[in-house]
Amino acid sequence: MQGLFAKIEEASAFIRSKWNKQPHAGIILGTGLGSLVEQMQQDVAIDYSEIPHFPRSTAISHRGRLICGTLGGLPVMAMEGRFHMYEGYPLDTITLPVRVFKSLGAKLLVVSNACGGMNPYYQCGDIMVIDDHINLMGGNPLIGVNDDRLGPRFPDMSQPYDRQLVDRALEVARKQNIVAHKGVFVAVSGPNLETRAEYRFLRLIGADVVGMSTVPEVIVAVHAGLKVVGFSIITDMCFPDALEPADVPKIIATANAAEPKLRALVMGVLAQEQVS
């Protein structure tokens, strides 16, 4: 983490020069989920390429902009596309935006992703509120000399996802008749999809869904002292005995179709943040 603090300060100063509000939440939008920003009252949109030390998003359907404005009555910053380990970026670079959210005053991180479902009770288009995760990415963004200005050397991960926010999201789902589960997300590096044997293994160790993101950002959010709520949209089913070849356009289309449900849950969580 050497030199990271200066990068955070420089990126934060640039964003502050464009937008002078203090965000309550930072939002990271995954594959096919960028349309949430259409519900924002947008003050400014900044291309990642303009922000010092931000990498460029090369993933399919990730536009690569930071949107600053108001959502659900709260000032927020939303990443219209994220960065991934499989794009070749180191994990401390992938998670830099989370550090910047914290530096600018955010208290909450909202993360979302498209994922493969392994729990037989799930269906394509369902939403899973992340209750816990497993890191099988082969890396950790906190490796290296710890900068105590950013967080403790050994952050506790007994509750990486805020229990009150998990319950709140599930309550919103029940009230709005949205199919939402509570489960475990496992992160792998990608970019290839998993083999049948790998899906069996991941299910055996307790994962309900699998994806290629989210966990590094959540680790850094916990390190930085942010509350976290996470949502996974199941875009394809990964049953090893009935496995079909991955269809990426179909996966993105499924995420797009389910996005209004994600939007409702995020808006519901933020509405309660406004009164709490």
123's CB contacts (< 8 A; 6+ apart) are 117, 179, 234, 237
Q: What's the domain range around 48?
A: 4-275
- CA–CA gap between residue 30 and residue 114 (Å, rounded): 6
pTM for the full predicted model: 0.95
Tokens 């037989």 sit at which residue? 120
**What would the pLDDT profile of 137-186 be if each residue is shown by its tens digit?**
999 999 999 999 999 999 999 999 999 999 999 999 999 999 999 999 99
* Distance linking the first and last C-alpha atoms of the chain: 34
* Neighbouring C-beta atoms of residue 22, cutoff 10 Å: 11
88's CB contacts (< 8 A; 6+ apart) are none
Give the residue-averaged pLDDT of 220-230: 98
CATH code of 23's domain: 3.40.50.1580
Please state, for a pLDDT cut of 70, what percent of the chain lies above it: 95
**What would the pLDDT profile of 51-92 be if each residue is shown by its tens digit?**
999 988 766 555 789 999 999 889 999 999 889 999 999 999
- Return the pLDDT at 182: 98
In the structure, what pLDDT confidence band is assigned to residue 275 with cuts at 50, 70 and 90?
low
Give the residue-averaged pLDDT of 108-129: 96
- Return the pLDDT at 38: 82
Task: State the total domains in the chain.
Answer: 1
